[in-house]
Structure 1
């Protein structure tokens, strides 16, 4: 290139700027295969008037011609291959542009990423692991990955074992078996179909590898009682008669007063600690989507992980029941819940008239308040679904059944006010400034619910949980609460008669 000779090897990346020339020569008895990627860099023409913006190709070199030394060749290779596929598929220009930017950013980052040999080994093996995690369904050999990573196969095997604690073949087998377990738990697919989906030729071979890795057959796994770790939805398991080996909850596992006595022997794994999860050797992990994609990916490397989406708590409950083969228990619990909710709805008619509306809110900093829906805890499902209480039209249109609650400034509260207003905040000291802001705000005196009085304060910690077991228990608290609106002279909140039991 420009009278300079560059030896091309596996993993070599070369930059050639505009207005350059290069000759390619393959070594004897060897095929030369390379990817050529061309792109323009545009710059604003400084000589044009301000009102007329014109861009033209950059003429000067972007970076020096020659080899670009990269430590994550696998990642670069993957990005370039994907760009070629997009070109063949005539994909949208925006899609190709986004991938090109990702490639350029990677090259720029690596230019300023000094590493010693040990760090380079760690980085290279991490790139290999990322590749395996994305391509486990395909035929993958040690020789292919060693070549991609730039190691001799024997050296690759040694470094892979040092970095992961496992051989390449064992790592791949364990990954495929975890993926097979997940499909067995969440689908009704035949063993041959599952084998094909995880990179094995047939169900017989999958069955043999399954027993080799786990110590039991796929059919035994399907029938056995699972060791489960669950995040946030532990009450759903308890409602099915299942006690997990480990769990975590938003305020701490044993902070939920409804579940505390049932969780004495359950390990609190915390919300970001994978080591405690690994120690429990679970067969299944259940986690909500909001716990974060990065942490979920770490959990998936431990055991099959079911990701629970945002939505109707009883829909999630029934889906879980199918996975753990407890559909009859789920149906019984649902019937008990509906009967209890209907009986309470009838008793509440003496306190809340059929034509009156009910709203659920939560105080927040900066003179704002959340308008809550039926899927966001704080007793919302019980209020709007279980008891069938009617929200104002503005809340129905903007909040109920939607993905998230609505945050508004206190100035706008009258637009979402209801005849009966249930207001959540933390009853501890940190919640007191929020209630002070509300009571001193000019809109407070305008609210009809404040005048009559039909305001009810609830402790966020007590009503936060949204699993079905907690919802069932909260129905008792709702009956006490709605019989005791706030004393407008003292503004004291109602304390449940069993509060010493709950908190």
Structure 2
């Protein structure tokens, strides 16, 4: 169990700041600029771009910030805090100790989520009204929510970031029944609202008007059929909820800025901007033109395969993407959370939305191969991967005892351990490609129901495997191993239960699509043979 304590919140610099600002105060410290800055210290220099933040766990000699351009500073905020872990629970007291092991590494630059901007504003407002920090429980709750948001890499799905269950129900229904008649009155009745309130709430929660969203879902389904089949426009119209081919054609042109026939000609496009699916595109022999910095940072195993890719700060850098003149933009379906960005991108090139983290890993490559005119390339790569898996099984067999089990676990920011299902974090590699057996508890609670599970550290012995692959948020895995082994639960796992720990880097195993699977398979085999 973790908790946080706010120590200080400062405006380090703003438009009136004329010189560099020395970094003093309490640590750990988060620095959040609204425009790019540079942190300089005796040993290194670090650039933090717009839409990013940096975590400093401790002070560095002669560290200070300067603006990255001649235009000077824009507002730069710092937040100092303590992080505590529950160490002992007694009858009438709880003992917490300072613990930073679960935090990202010192000096790590991370993306600042858009939806955290409102939380930061609330935190600043509440702090400015507070006289005594130790008498402001609301302030600490706001800090906890804020840190949870910026440190947590959200599990990616198709859901909108909405707390309204009725609207979430409506969104799910539309996605599942896009081919059926969908009227505002029907959806309002289904969710228990009158039509006017339903429309305003839908717009507020999703950013789309009801009619816009229904049309967007239908158009995106039509895109998949135009590229993935030879169906006539009339047939596609009837399968996607349009009255006829003519109406589909008019609506398609309005949303995509291309006619359906012109769009269909882009099936074998090479100039593709990828806002996900880097590994899958590489498996098809496609070199993406560009992707986001966050995606590249979390795909370190692919860097050598992407020598010429353009790194953009974020997916709303519309002008940069426009200059690349892409023929297609491939994006995950959770992009519906950003309607204005999605509409702006569609002005540049058609956006092809693909489900993320839902398909079988090989079927995902097959789908993209079909849509992009690389069916044979997809099948060739899949056959090669399956052959590599057969050879990998032969290599690790001498290192496995009879009945050996394996599990994969990821340390989350909240100090809980995620046990992933096959759709993420190379669980597919462990259980499908290497054919390893999961412990009974993981089999029953994760693999059979098909869902992820989070457990407390002290409960890990219940899910222990002979080979435990641990995904940790640092590149210095051996130092992290040393810290783990100072705790009794890990001593129990290793010395009493005989578990072998294989540590994996989060930025190498965050994504596991396409070519990433192939490289991750090799990494895991080497860990088996080198450490067993």
TM above 0.5, one fold?
yes
CA displacement at 1:235 relative to structure 2: 1.4
Is there any run of 5+ residues in structure 2 with no aligned partner, and where?
Answer: 1-181
Aligned match for 2:192, one of 84, 93, 96: 96
Aligned match for 1:346, one of 394, 403, 415: 394
CA displacement at 1:273 relative to structure 2: 1.7
Aligned match for 2:280, one of 220, 225, 236: 236
- With over 3 angstroms needed to count, the CA separation of the structure-2 counterparts of 1:242 and 1:96, relative to structure 1, is same
Aligned match for 1:335, one of 383, 388, 392: 383
Superposed counterparts of 1:212-251, under 5 Å: 214=258, 218=262, 221=265, 224-248=268-292, 251=294
- With over 3 angstroms needed to count, the CA separation of the structure-2 counterparts of 1:369 and 1:201, relative to structure 1, is closer
**What do the CA deviations read for 1:99-119 (whole angstroms, capped 9, x no partner)?**
565468799x9xxxxxxxxxx
Conserved? CA contact 1:226–1:283, under 8 Å: yes
Aligned match for 1:400, one of 447, 453, 472: 447
CA displacement at 1:357 relative to structure 2: 0.6
Report the counterpart of residue 456 of structure 2 in structure 1. Answer: 409
- With over 3 angstroms needed to count, the CA separation of the structure-2 counterparts of 1:308 and 1:248, relative to structure 1, is farther
CA displacement at 1:416 relative to structure 2: 0.4
CA displacement at 1:386 relative to structure 2: 0.3
Report the counterpart of residue 508 of structure 2 in structure 1. Answer: 462
CA displacement at 1:366 relative to structure 2: 4.8
Structure-1 separation of matches of 2:326 and 2:450: 31
Structure-1 separation of matches of 2:210 and 2:490: 58
Structure-1 separation of matches of 2:185 and 2:517: 52
User: Tell me, what secondary structure is at the counterpart of 1:243?
Assistant: coil
Alignment of 1:314 onto 2:362: yes
Alignment of 1:361 onto 2:409: yes
Conserved? CA contact 1:358–1:390, under 8 Å: yes
User: Tell me, what secondary structure is at the counterpart of 1:285?
Assistant: strand
Conserved? CA contact 2:392–2:434, under 8 Å: yes
Structure-1 separation of matches of 2:454 and 2:219: 44
Count of residues in Structure 1 that have an aligned counterpart in Structure 2: 340
Aligned match for 1:269, one of 290, 312, 315: 312
**TM-score, normalization by structure 2:** 0.54
Report the counterpart of residue 133 of structure 1 in structure 2. Answer: 212
CA displacement at 1:361 relative to structure 2: 1.2
CA displacement at 1:471 relative to structure 2: 1.1
Structure-1 separation of matches of 2:449 and 2:364: 16
Conserved? CA contact 1:374–1:401, under 8 Å: no
- With over 3 angstroms needed to count, the CA separation of the structure-2 counterparts of 1:297 and 1:452, relative to structure 1, is same
CA displacement at 1:329 relative to structure 2: 1.0
Alignment of 1:473 onto 2:515: no
**What do the CA deviations read for 1:442-500 (whole angstroms, capped 9, x no partner)?**
322322576646222222222333012011122222222012338xxxxxxxxxxxxxx
CA displacement at 1:242 relative to structure 2: 1.4
**What do the CA deviations read for 1:281-335 (whole angstroms, capped 9, x no partner)?**
433322224x443226632551232232323222211111111121111111111
Superposed counterparts of 1:177-256, under 5 Å: 181=223, 183-194=225-236, 206=249, 214=258, 218=262, 221=265, 224-248=268-292, 251-253=294-296, 256=299
- With over 3 angstroms needed to count, the CA separation of the structure-2 counterparts of 1:375 and 1:135, relative to structure 1, is closer
Structure-2 separation of matches of 1:364 and 1:177: 37
Conserved? CA contact 1:376–1:404, under 8 Å: no
Structure-2 separation of matches of 1:178 and 1:455: 44
User: Tell me, what secondary structure is at the counterpart of 1:317?
Assistant: helix
> Greater relative contact order (Cα 8 A, min sep 6): structure 1 or 2?
2
- With over 3 angstroms needed to count, the CA separation of the structure-2 counterparts of 1:97 and 1:319, relative to structure 1, is same
Alignment of 1:423 onto 2:470: yes
Structure-2 separation of matches of 1:367 and 1:134: 37
**TM-score, normalization by structure 1:** 0.56
Aligned-residue CA RMSD in angstroms? 4.3
Structure-2 separation of matches of 1:239 and 1:345: 22
Structure-1 separation of matches of 2:185 and 2:526: 65
Report the counterpart of residue 282 of structure 1 in structure 2. Answer: 326
Aligned match for 1:294, one of 331, 337, 354: 337
Q: Give the strand-richer structure, 1 or 2.
A: 2
Structure-2 separation of matches of 1:340 and 1:401: 26
Bigger mean CA deviation after superposition, 266-275 or 322-331: 266-275
- With over 3 angstroms needed to count, the CA separation of the structure-2 counterparts of 1:449 and 1:352, relative to structure 1, is farther
Structure-2 separation of matches of 1:106 and 1:360: 39
